[in-house]
Amino acid sequence: MKALVAGFSTQLTKALEIGKNASLNKNLDPIRNIVIAGLGGSGIGGSIVSELVAMDANVPMTVCKGYFIPAFVDKHTLFIASSYSGNTEETLQALEQAITKKAKIVCITSGGKMTEIAKQHKFDYITVPGGFPPRACLGYSLTQLFYILKFFGIINIDFEGDLNASISLLDKEEQGIIELAQKIATKLENKLPVIYATTYHEGIAVRFRQQLNENAKTLCWHQVIPEMNHNELVGWREKNEDIAVILFRDQDEYERNNARIEINKEVIKKYTSNILEIYSKGKSKIEKALYLIHLGDWISCYLAEKLGYDANEINVINDLKAVLAKT
């Protein structure tokens, strides 16, 4: 897993080439909404990208992480099915529903049943390299989403420039990222991580939570500011030094959110002294997001190492899929 994390910037470079060479076809009907279907490592890209382009997209976007799709899906929907293996049960069922609704369909996958379906129905599809854990291939799926959204006129941003700048940033900062990840992993050892981020950064927090779950075999939770100021903050009532709070921060954060964060810290420090603030680096939203994602991936690997776990092992998920396959 560490080798896969180390190759993140190389993956982004390859993903850009795949996206540039992708063959897509315009929809006959105008696109009025977008649904991105996917779960786990295949679905988190949809969450992250939908937040990164929220202020630029000209139609509403919904991320679907289950068996069923929204009732509004129709011929005016751009339905993007993302399954790294091509065999994700929930996403395939959602795809079949989108077909009956006559949505415009684009698939992102490395093969499997999804490719078979795409070929059968002559849907647009983008093939990414296979054979790796889906959570280690975020760079591939995330990049293709940008290309799809740009092709259909949903966004009009220089995402290629931002992704290339991200690659340069990560390569330049790699040693510092690794050293910081090791320090943070030490502080998270035998703690219950609680992750906080602000609105439109939730996908980054979820990604980190998922990486801690799968790589470091660690339970944790996340919440969003300012939403948590209306509920979860009240739950801080008992001192517990086994909890470690991670705050994802941005130098350009909205001033009211910064004010809330400072007040939150004053409340939380009464109950735990373990408060870690992680600031993003980079100029664009995409650069900042990929910096935090990459740092979080490294943290999860080093925490797995400290706890004595194999970051690649996900036996319980494989067992669950095996049992479901028999029913």
The whole-number pLDDT of residue 38 equals 97
Same domain for 189 and 94, yes or no, is: no
User: What percent of the chain clears pLDDT 70, i.e. is strictly above it?
Assistant: 100
Same domain for 22 and 132, yes or no, is: yes
- Determine, yes or no, domain membership for 312: no
Same domain for 226 and 252, yes or no, is: yes
- Tens digit of pLDDT for each residue in 157-184? 999 999 999 999 999 999 999 999 999 9
Same domain for 44 and 129, yes or no, is: yes
Give 327's pLDDT tier (boundaries 50, 70, 90): confident
- The helix/strand count (H/E) of the chain reads as 11, 9
Same domain for 146 and 189, yes or no, is: no
**0.85 cut: is pTM over it?**
yes
Same domain for 130 and 195, yes or no, is: no
Q: Is the pLDDT of residue 267 over 90?
A: yes
Same domain for 102 and 37, yes or no, is: yes
Q: Are 133 and 1 in contact (CB under 8 A)?
A: yes
End position of a domain, from candidates 132, 157, 182: 157
Q: Are 299 and 188 in contact (CB under 8 A)?
A: yes
- Tens digit of pLDDT for each residue in 71-118? 999 999 999 999 999 999 999 999 999 999 999 999 999 999 999 999
Average pLDDT, rounded, for the chain: 97
Look at the alpha carbons of 81, 82, 84, 87 in this order and tell me if their dihedral is positive or negative.
Answer: negative
**Mean pLDDT calculated for residue range 136-160:** 97
Among 5, 11, 12, 7, smallest CA distance to 165 is for 12
Same domain for 291 and 233, yes or no, is: yes
**Mean pLDDT calculated for residue range 248-275:** 97
Same domain for 146 and 182, yes or no, is: no
Number of independent structural domains in the chain: 2
CATH at residue 209: 3.40.50.10490
- Determine, yes or no, domain membership for 163: no
Domain that holds residue 45: 2-157
Active site residue ranges: 214, 230, 321
The whole-number pLDDT of residue 58 equals 96
Same domain for 50 and 106, yes or no, is: yes
- Tens digit of pLDDT for each residue in 204-228? 999 999 999 999 999 999 999 999 9
CB burial readout 102-119, b (16+ within 10 A) else e: ebbbbbbbbbbbbbebbe
CA distance linking residue 53 with residue 66, whole number of Å: 23
Same domain for 207 and 264, yes or no, is: yes
